[in-house]
Structure 1
Amino acid sequence: MNEQITPTRIALKWGLILGIAMILYSIVTFVTDSVGNAWLGSVSYVLIIIGIILAMRDFRTLNGGYMTYGQGLTIGMLMGAVAGLLSSLFSVFYLTVIDTGIMERAAETARERMEDEGKMSDEQIDQAIGIMEKFQSPGFLFVFGVIGTALLALIFSLVIAAFIRRNKDNPFE
């Protein structure tokens, strides 16, 4: 019996692969104390884009060379949600069990960066750090990690699916 290839199946497979890649990337940023580094943060965007491209190409190959735009969007968003779930679970575990002081160090680095720029008063810096610390709770990090990765994957998928899609000449086949 021939098994039907579905966007969900491919998205779960590649979401797991992307999630593991994002966990490995997170380990590197945590161990090197590079959590607040904006340049290194863009590496996660590249990982997501590469994952989406590979997943869509995999689906199109397994589906006889065809993939609709909607199937591409489904693959990208679901893959992003799975990867976000895995990487967020790991990040919350790491931040609450393995290295509980990493967020304080990131806040201190942010404070030093703001002081070096000299554009803000001490009161404004304290207020900005206070707001930043409110968004560092494990629940908040988890929820927005999953939602943020899924939305980012959806945005990237909107563009990538337009290039990778290949419709059948006769859609009724």
Structure 2
Amino acid sequence: MEEQQSPFKAAIQPGLTIGLVSLAITFIAYFIDATLLGSAWFGLIALVVFFVLIIYFGRQYRTEIGGFISFGAAFNFSFIAILISGIISLIGQVLLFHVIDPSLPGVLSDLAFENSLKMMESFGASADSLSPEQLEEMKASTSNQFTLSGQLMGFGIGIIIYAIIALILAAILKKRDKSLDY
């Protein structure tokens, strides 16, 4: 009888694959036009690819273990795969922002600041209504997101988001064997 892989072990390969695909998408966007990394639609496309891949690998794992998976096992599989993917993405972004192109954080920070101002205006607030100190604080907070400590802190917050996403994915992936019901 063949021994089944635990959700933790089974999630390693999909996590690596999703992380590398995410990194490839990031670098392709960077090479096409670095400002794509700051656009909302790029983030949306990356998120859709991410969800499609994790659901694909989750269903593949469910099939491998007999077609049924509990919510807990699906959560463990999803969370570990997402966490590994996030670590790979973090390493790639640190390399991109601090080794490959150290000027990129400034470009993306300026773009994020401009997008924030545009969003404020779309809600009826004007940049003129903010004091210069408030504008400087906004600019500094967007710049801090791209520092090494900002990226690490973002990853820490991301772990909470990863858990929420894994809960959603576990609800999608779970499937119980109804033949065991009495």
Give the TM-score normalised by the residue count of structure 1: 0.85
C-alpha separation in 1, matches of 2:117 and 2:15: 40
Alignment correspondent of 2:5 = 5
Counterparts in 2 of 1:154 and 1:113: CA distance versus 1, 3 Å: closer
- CA deviation after TM superposition for structure 1 residue 126, in Å: 2.3
Letter of the 2:50 counterpart: I
Superposition CA RMSD, Å: 2.3
Counterparts in 2 of 1:39 and 1:17: CA distance versus 1, 3 Å: same
8 Å CA contact 1:5, 1:59 repeated in 2: no
Deviates more, 1:151-160 or 1:98-107: 151-160
8 Å CA contact 1:7, 1:74 repeated in 2: yes
- CA deviation after TM superposition for structure 1 residue 56, in Å: 1.4
Gaps of 5+ in 2: none
Alignment correspondent of 2:176 = 167
C-alpha separation in 1, matches of 2:7 and 2:52: 17
Report how many residues are paired: 170
Gaps of 5+ in 1: none
Equivalent of 2:105 in 103, 106, 112: 103
Deviates more, 1:104-113 or 1:9-18: 104-113
Equivalent of 2:81 in 72, 79, 82: 79
Alignment correspondent of 2:68 = 66
Equivalent of 1:154 in 147, 155, 163: 163
8 Å CA contact 1:89, 1:142 repeated in 2: no
Counterparts in 2 of 1:82 and 1:147: CA distance versus 1, 3 Å: farther
Identity between Structure 1 and Structure 2 (%): 22
What secondary structure sits across from 1:27 in the alignment? helix
8 Å CA contact 2:113, 2:142 repeated in 1: no
Alignment correspondent of 1:20 = 20
Alignment correspondent of 2:126 = 119
Counterparts in 2 of 1:166 and 1:65: CA distance versus 1, 3 Å: same
